[in-house]
Structure 1
Amino acid sequence: MSHPHPELTYPPALDPAGLRVVPLGGLGEVGRNMTVLETKGRLLVIDCGVLFPEDSHPGVDLILPDFSYIEDRLGDIEAVVLTHGHEDHIGAVPYLLKLKRDIPLIGSTLTLALIEAKLKEHRIKPYTLAVKEGRRERLGVFDLEFIAVNHSIPDALAVFVRTAAGTLLHTGDFKMDQLPLDGRLTDLRSFARVGEEGVDLFLTDSTNADIPGFTTPEREIAPAIDKVFRHARRRIIVACFSSHVHRVQQVLDAADKAGRKVAFVGRSMVRNMGIAADLGYLHVPEGILVDLKRIGELPDDEVVLVSTGSQGEPMAALSRMANRDHRIDVGPGDTVLLASSLIPGNENAVYRVINGLMRLGATVVHKGIAKVHVSGHASAGELLYAYNIVRPRNVLPVHGEYRHMYANAQLARETGVPDENVLLAEDGVVIDLLDGQARVTGVVDCGYVYVDGSNIGGTDEALLKDRRILRDEGFITCIVVLDAASGKIASGPEIMARGFAEDDEIFQNVIPKVERAVEEAVRNGVRDDHQLQQVVRRAVGSWAGGKLRRRPMIIPVVMQA
């Protein structure tokens, strides 16, 4: 099932006077953000991001939004608006543009620079339009106004959409840091102004809606980072998101103060920080950066490495260091600073990396024991301010797991938004705005699309289930050769098993059961190879379940000679 609402059907045709909102990702999950707006037969896409796989997705590299809803309407898309440059908002753009390369991309200077670098790797040269806060752009039936918001990456934007059918304010990811490192505040005056004009539907970030109070200002973590630098005896390895320009800026400043040199580790970190520095978003102290290849020439107590892998990604630099599969050999006296929060679902992977690093003798400092990271998302107190300033007619919480969106919906109700005007939806659920009232009108297919090596969309749940069984339960192959004339067993059964703690001898116990099952099936007139394979599968499966308490993958092979 691709959606959690079996009671809903495909939506009817949109009323000519209506505005349709179709979230294709980001509702019920942290990642894969993508929302499609439709009115007068034209489409506007807000964000197009990826979701990173969990342990239940073995072999999967990325998870994309399902483009099938818009795949036959790509010519109706006016543009893709990108609110900011994080992967969960821009990472799927290359896969959308592979379907139609000339879809315009609209975003801030840094956001577009990051996506252009990514598209270059896919050999796509996009059509882009850079915008700033305060700018308005008319795109067919959509009139867009961009508003500055503060987030954990510079140049983030909210977008206010005016249409003949009504207005919509999408915050993107935001918080209300009153002392931001770059001095760029969330523009609450513009929020109030569009609120006075009238916001018919408010789509607002839910990630921290269940956290009381206000998100800690970025400036408050600088002393904690400085303390780590003062006490570190050897090398310092800082792991953070490759797009977290503000955090890297703090690390550069702390390293400069401590007289250390900095090297970037990881392709995306080198690329993104180079872009940020070239555009003036990252201020690099003179002479502080060194090439990773020259690190060995410096004393350990003069080195800082800024690395990817803060979420425990298997192929990222920090995970490889923990597994001793990287040129950087972590050891006693080294300090590893995890300067990021845990994305829900990544906890086990991150703790595995922490444990691995500590086994190697490193000191690991993370958010759980020191104030070395703050969130980029508004907590409940900030969301209450947003609701009271905007005074929306209808609310659709976005960006978060269901518990986050539920908490956000409760905040909206507490500020006076009528209960029937607060919509809790998930990916694929269609909301229509008509005459100032937002209603759920149906659902569209919106399953996960897996990027699996070079394959896109070919991996499905059945294949992942097979992989999970192979990983967790092992497999048994049983080969039986029958005499084509008599139907009697000529060779075998031969058993081969992998992934079991038991000795191979135990599998000899299943051979008589397979022999009896095959002989009985032949006596009953079963001679088709496929049917006999199912007989073998059931016999082996019944034995494995009863004797081994396992449900392995069973591969029966029946041949007639």
Structure 2
Amino acid sequence: MQIVPIGGLGEIGKNSTLIRLGRDGLIVDAGLMFPDEELPGIDLVIPDFGFLATEGVVHGIALTHGHEDHIGGLPYLLRTVQAPVFGTPLTLGLARRRVEETQGTPTMKAVPVRPRRPVRIGPFEVEFGHVNHSIPQACAVAVRTAAGTVMWTGDFKFDQTPIDGEPTDFSRLAEIGEAGVRVLLMDSTNVERPGYAPSERVVGAALDQIFARAHGRILVTTFASNVHRLAQVFRTAAQHGRKVALAGRSMVDTVTIASELKALTIPRATLVPLDQIGRLQPRQVAILTSGSQGEPLSALTRMAAGTHRMVTIAPGDTVVFSATPIPGNEAMVGRTINQLYRQGAEVIYGSEVHASGHACQEELKLMLTLVRPTFFVPVHGEYRHLVRNQQLALDVGLPKERTLLAENGHVIEVQGNRIARVGTVEVGNVLVDGLGGVGQVVLRDRKHLAQDGMLIALVTMDRRTGELLGAPDIVSRGFVHMRESGDLLEECKKRVREAMDRCRARGTTEGGAVRSAIRDALGQFLFEKTHRQPMILPLLVEV
């Protein structure tokens, strides 16, 4: 039996794992990761699923829950692997939306499952077990094979007072552990936090206090997929006589899907269209909006900048950030908060209005104690999180030789009384923008342009003789200001003429060779003068 992490190890996001017996495979989750500032113009980062085309037969894809870091890469996986997708109804509903809105994706064959009811997927028997998280119908997944049981905890916490009244299924987890778990792969996100994650109900109490004291409009931003949080906002708004409007496509889509599937109950007459809030008094209005991560094009960011077409922030508004920034997004969130303050709003953020959906140290220890695996592989976290999670396993008595720290692409083999890395596969990142996949060359050019700008040399040349016809034209964008750098640009024109003369003296008239000569001459000159290396684009017109 082999386990191959495709994504999610050494990073936050892109969670996806392959388990295989010989040529038979099963994939658990297919997530994405949002880009940081080092990836200009990139919308999404997904695992490179290309290697799966030669890895035998993938019999199915099991999804633990409906968050983007677990389902967002599914459309791209389905282009490589046409396999049925298994999950709870809400998870499949959110996954189907993602697939349908991604062009060029095959139709998704969805197979709904229920916790405690195993399903057969090829040679694998797969059982979903209910766990608490910040979205309903989240599950751990146990995969039974002839070589033993492998269990993924998925994202989980032990919430004794969940707002949907369904605590984590302790008894079933213990039963699965009692029957024997060969390998446990466990969430590492909150391993650095001691104690227990607070209950979601704590946030409900904080929201109630905010709604009670606010006299103007209230805007609440959170992850659109945090359905439990959305439910609390709707309930609290109704109790305080406020109508709720939705801003942001992801927020509208999630509320629509979750309510249709009975995973979200909206009090009667509470939800109103966004374009109708102008008819209400400010004290009657609450807005659920996307933008908790400060995304540049999100609804809240546009409101803060004064560019949203329906909502303008005004003094007296209260904005609640009911989410914590994903690592790397802190600066964007900070900019949005600053802009909201400039518009006169009161902004509330921090731990009082957010409860993590991920287990802290004591809950992680409890999961290890319930399941009692033979082998343990920490997943879902940066490398320091994986190391800390391994240490927790040692603290509860698991021998170090029965734990393994892995990274994406490692082939983990379980055989007899040993677990070891026996090879690697190519599982890099695929960068996606609005036009599709973006390669490393395009990304390199974007970084180059962002750092040093661009200089264009427009040259007209006699195709037969190589003679320069007229004076060269130099255009700078993002490199130097043209009006203030006349001498430098005149010198650039001189270097272009000299390069053309050298080419003509050698009898070189081929366009590619002339462009290369101009690029080299300008590049060397500009680096000597400015110690910068703008992207140089010679545009050669041959007549």
Would you say how many aligned residue pairs link Structure 1 and Structure 2?
Answer: 537
1:222 equivalent in structure 2: 204
Cα distance in 2, alignment partners of residues 243 and 483 from structure 1: 62
Asked if the contact 2:156–2:357 (Cα under 8 Å) also holds between the matched residues in 1, the reply is yes
1:541 equivalent in structure 2: 523
1:308-387 equivalent positions in 2, closer than 5 A: 308-326=290-308, 327-367=310-350, 371-387=352-368
2:118 equivalent in structure 1: 136
Flag the 1:100–1:430 CA change in 2: closer, same or farther, 3 A. Answer: closer
Asked if the contact 1:234–1:301 (Cα under 8 Å) also holds between the matched residues in 2, the reply is yes
CA drift of 1:100 comes to 5.3
2:182 equivalent in structure 1: 200
Q: Is 1:265 paired with 2:244?
A: no
CA drift of 1:196 comes to 2.4
Deviation larger for 265-274 or 35-44: 265-274
Asked if the contact 1:166–1:436 (Cα under 8 Å) also holds between the matched residues in 2, the reply is no
- The one-character-per-residue Cα deviations of 1:144-183 (angstroms, maximum 9, x if unpaired) are 2221111010111101111112221100111112222122
Cα distance in 1, alignment partners of residues 311 and 97 from structure 2: 26
1:4 equivalent in structure 2: none
Given candidates 29, 48, 72, the residue that maps to 2:30 is 48
Amino acid at match of 1:361: G
TM-score normalised by L of structure 1: 0.90
- The one-character-per-residue Cα deviations of 1:187-217 (angstroms, maximum 9, x if unpaired) are 2333332222222211000111122222122
1:498-537 equivalent positions in 2, closer than 5 A: 498-500=477-479, 502=481, 503-505=484-486, 506-520=488-502, 522-523=504-505, 527-537=509-519
Cα distance in 2, alignment partners of residues 45 and 173 from structure 1: 16
What do you get for the CA RMSD once the two structures are aligned?
Answer: 2.2
Given candidates 67, 70, 83, the residue that maps to 1:89 is 70
- The one-character-per-residue Cα deviations of 1:475-527 (angstroms, maximum 9, x if unpaired) are 00113344556655443332111114532414223333343444445546655
Cα distance in 2, alignment partners of residues 466 and 335 from structure 1: 42
2:269 equivalent in structure 1: 287
Given candidates 216, 233, 237, the residue that maps to 1:251 is 233
CA drift of 1:314 comes to 2.4
2:92 equivalent in structure 1: 112
2:137 equivalent in structure 1: 155
Cα distance in 2, alignment partners of residues 173 and 155 from structure 1: 11
Cα distance in 2, alignment partners of residues 90 and 389 from structure 1: 27
Flag the 1:486–1:137 CA change in 2: closer, same or farther, 3 A. Answer: closer
1:1-20 equivalent positions in 2, closer than 5 A: 19-20=1-2
Flag the 1:42–1:175 CA change in 2: closer, same or farther, 3 A. Answer: same
Amino acid at match of 1:57: L
Cα distance in 1, alignment partners of residues 272 and 466 from structure 2: 74
Amino acid at match of 1:499: G
Flag the 1:135–1:537 CA change in 2: closer, same or farther, 3 A. Answer: same
Given candidates 131, 146, 154, the residue that maps to 1:172 is 154
Secondary structure of the 1:427 match is coil
1:488-507 equivalent positions in 2, closer than 5 A: 489-500=468-479, 502=481, 503-505=484-486, 506-507=488-489
Cα distance in 2, alignment partners of residues 417 and 513 from structure 1: 70
Flag the 1:334–1:202 CA change in 2: closer, same or farther, 3 A. Answer: same
Secondary structure of the 1:70 match is helix
Asked if the contact 2:454–2:476 (Cα under 8 Å) also holds between the matched residues in 1, the reply is yes
Secondary structure of the 2:470 match is strand
Flag the 1:509–1:132 CA change in 2: closer, same or farther, 3 A. Answer: same
Asked if the contact 2:217–2:316 (Cα under 8 Å) also holds between the matched residues in 1, the reply is yes
Cα distance in 1, alignment partners of residues 323 and 349 from structure 2: 8
Cα distance in 2, alignment partners of residues 238 and 308 from structure 1: 9
Cα distance in 1, alignment partners of residues 53 and 338 from structure 2: 44
1:401 equivalent in structure 2: 382
Secondary structure of the 1:271 match is helix
- The one-character-per-residue Cα deviations of 1:202-254 (angstroms, maximum 9, x if unpaired) are 10001111222221221122232223223323211111111111111111122
CA drift of 1:558 comes to 4.2
Asked if the contact 1:166–1:433 (Cα under 8 Å) also holds between the matched residues in 2, the reply is no
Cα distance in 2, alignment partners of residues 161 and 95 from structure 1: 24
Cα distance in 2, alignment partners of residues 120 and 512 from structure 1: 56
Flag the 1:252–1:489 CA change in 2: closer, same or farther, 3 A. Answer: same
- The one-character-per-residue Cα deviations of 1:284-335 (angstroms, maximum 9, x if unpaired) are 2222111112111101121001011211222221122223221211122211
Cα distance in 1, alignment partners of residues 407 and 81 from structure 2: 27
1:469 equivalent in structure 2: 448
Amino acid at match of 1:208: N
Flag the 1:532–1:124 CA change in 2: closer, same or farther, 3 A. Answer: closer
Asked if the contact 2:454–2:535 (Cα under 8 Å) also holds between the matched residues in 1, the reply is yes
Asked if the contact 1:479–1:492 (Cα under 8 Å) also holds between the matched residues in 2, the reply is no
Secondary structure of the 2:472 match is strand
Structure 1 gap ranges (5+): 1-18
CA drift of 1:463 comes to 0.2
Amino acid at match of 1:246: H
Amino acid at match of 2:327: P
Secondary structure of the 1:466 match is helix
CA drift of 1:528 comes to 4.1
1:389 equivalent in structure 2: 370
Secondary structure of the 1:332 match is coil
Cα distance in 2, alignment partners of residues 556 and 119 from structure 1: 42
Given candidates 31, 38, 46, the residue that maps to 1:64 is 46
Structure 2 gap ranges (5+): none
Flag the 1:436–1:527 CA change in 2: closer, same or farther, 3 A. Answer: same
Cα distance in 1, alignment partners of residues 368 and 223 from structure 2: 30
TM-score normalised by L of structure 2: 0.93
Asked if the contact 1:200–1:436 (Cα under 8 Å) also holds between the matched residues in 2, the reply is no
1:416-427 equivalent positions in 2, closer than 5 A: 416-427=397-408
CA drift of 1:99 comes to 4.4
Secondary structure of the 1:55 match is coil
Higher RCO structure, 1 or 2 (CA under 8 Å, sep 6+): 1
Deviation larger for 373-382 or 528-537: 528-537
Amino acid at match of 2:96: E
Cα distance in 2, alignment partners of residues 238 and 21 from structure 1: 41
Q: Is 1:449 paired with 2:430?
A: yes
Cα distance in 1, alignment partners of residues 464 and 512 from structure 2: 18
1:35 equivalent in structure 2: 17
Secondary structure of the 2:94 match is helix
Flag the 1:133–1:549 CA change in 2: closer, same or farther, 3 A. Answer: same
CA drift of 1:39 comes to 0.5
Cα distance in 2, alignment partners of residues 160 and 83 from structure 1: 10
Amino acid at match of 2:338: N
